[in-house]
Amino acid sequence: MPSPPKAPAVQVWPIRLIIAAVVVLCMLLLAVAVLTLGHYSSRQNAIANAARTAQDAGRLITEQARRMLEPAQSTLRHLSFDPIARAGSLDERLDRLPVLLAELSANRLLSSLFVGYDNGDFILARPLDRAEVQRSVQAPAQAAFLVQSMTLQPDGTRRGEYLFFTDDQRLAERRLQPDYRFDPRTRPWYDAAVATAAPVQSLPYVFFTTRQVGLTLSQRSVAGGSVIGIDVVLDDLADRLAELRVTPGTRMALVTARQEVLAHPDMTRVLRVDGESITLKSLSELDEPALAELARQTGPGNPIVQYSTAHEDWLGVSLDFDVWQTQGTQLLVAMPNAELVGESERRRLQMMAMMAAVAALLLPVGWKAGASIGRNLDRLSRRAERIGRFEFADVHRRKPSWIREVNDLSRAMDGMGATIDSFLRISETMAHEPQVERMLEQVLQQFVDATRCGGGAVYLLDAAQGRMVLSASAGALPSSPGEDFVYSANRDTSESTQGRMTLELRGRTGQLEGLLILHHDGDDADGDESFTAFARRLSSMLALSIETRQLIESQKRLLGPVNTSAVHQRRERR
Quote the pLDDT of residue 72.
87
- Alpha-carbon dihedral angle through residues 334, 338, 343, 348, given to the nearest 10 degrees: 150
- Alpha-carbon dihedral angle through residues 487, 490, 491, 497, given to the nearest 10 degrees: -80
CA-based nearest residue to 188, from 223, 151, 158, 218:
218
Rounded CA-CA distance 125/113 in Å is 5
Report the SS3 class of residue 242: helix
How high is the mean pLDDT of the chain? 79
With contact defined as beta carbons under 8 Å apart, do 305 and 294 qualify?
A: yes
Rounded CA-CA distance 395/458 in Å is 30
End-to-end CA distance of the chain: 62
Bridge partners for 253 per DSSP: 332
How many other CB atoms are found less than 10 A from the CB of residue 20? 21
Place domain 425-561 in its CATH homologous superfamily.
Answer: GAF domain (3.30.450.40)
Quote the pLDDT of residue 522.
65
Rounded CA-CA distance 203/216 in Å is 8
Q: Residue 533 to residues 214, 494, 497: CA-CA distances in angstroms?
A: 107, 11, 15
Quote the pLDDT of residue 11.
67
Give the type of residue at 474.
Answer: A
CA-based nearest residue to 124, from 182, 73, 83:
182
CA-based nearest residue to 349, from 361, 357, 362:
357
DSSP state of 94: H
DSSP state of 186: G
Quote the pLDDT of residue 508.
76
How many other CB atoms are found less than 10 A from the CB of residue 25? 12
Rounded CA-CA distance 154/147 in Å is 22
φ and ψ at residue 325, rounded to 5 degrees:
-75, -15
- Taking the alpha carbons of 529, 530, 534, 537 in that order, is the dihedral positive or negative? positive
With contact defined as beta carbons under 8 Å apart, do 244 and 252 qualify?
A: yes
Rounded CA-CA distance 326/319 in Å is 15
Q: Do domains 80-232 and 425-561 have the same CATH topology?
A: yes
Question: For residues 282-311, b (16+ Cβ closer than 10 Å) or e, as one string?
Answer: ebeebebbbbbbbbeebeeeebbbebeeee
Is the whole model's pTM more than 0.75, yes or no?
Answer: no
Bridge partners for 320 per DSSP: 330
Series of mean pLDDT values for 10-residue runs along the chain (574 residues): 58 69 75 72 72 78 79 90 93 94 89 94 93 89 95 92 94 92 92 91 80 88 93 79 80 86 83 76 87 84 83 84 74 83 70 75 71 70 67 61 67 68 67 70 76 81 81 77 75 56 80 81 62 76 72 68 59 60
φ and ψ at residue 363, rounded to 5 degrees:
-60, -50
Rounded to 10 deg, the angle between the 404-432 and 529-573 helix axes is 20
Quote the pLDDT of residue 273.
78
Give the type of residue at 99.
Answer: V
Rounded CA-CA distance 102/116 in Å is 20
Q: What is the domain partition of the chain in residue ranges?
A: 80-232, 381-412, 425-561
Within 237-378, strands assigned E span: 251-255, 261-263, 271-274, 277-280, 304-308, 313-320, 330-336
With contact defined as beta carbons under 8 Å apart, do 207 and 186 qualify?
A: no
Bridging pattern class, strands 251-255 and 110-117: unpaired
With contact defined as beta carbons under 8 Å apart, do 392 and 417 qualify?
A: yes
- CATH code for the part of the protein at 80-232: 3.30.450.20
With contact defined as beta carbons under 8 Å apart, do 540 and 522 qualify?
A: no
Q: Residue 505 to residues 457, 474, 515: CA-CA distances in angstroms?
A: 12, 17, 5
Report the SS3 class of residue 336: strand
CA-based nearest residue to 256, from 335, 187, 334, 324:
324
How many other CB atoms are found less than 10 A from the CB of residue 510? 9
Quote the pLDDT of residue 422.
66
Quote the pLDDT of residue 550.
67
Rounded CA-CA distance 424/48 in Å is 79
Rounded CA-CA distance 409/390 in Å is 19
Largest CA distance in the chain: 199
How many other CB atoms are found less than 10 A from the CB of residue 477? 18
CA-based nearest residue to 14, from 332, 366, 428:
366
With contact defined as beta carbons under 8 Å apart, do 513 and 547 qualify?
A: yes
Quote the pLDDT of residue 1.
47
Rounded CA-CA distance 280/255 in Å is 10
Rounded to 10 deg, the angle between the 436-451 and 404-432 helix axes is 170
Rounded CA-CA distance 237/265 in Å is 9
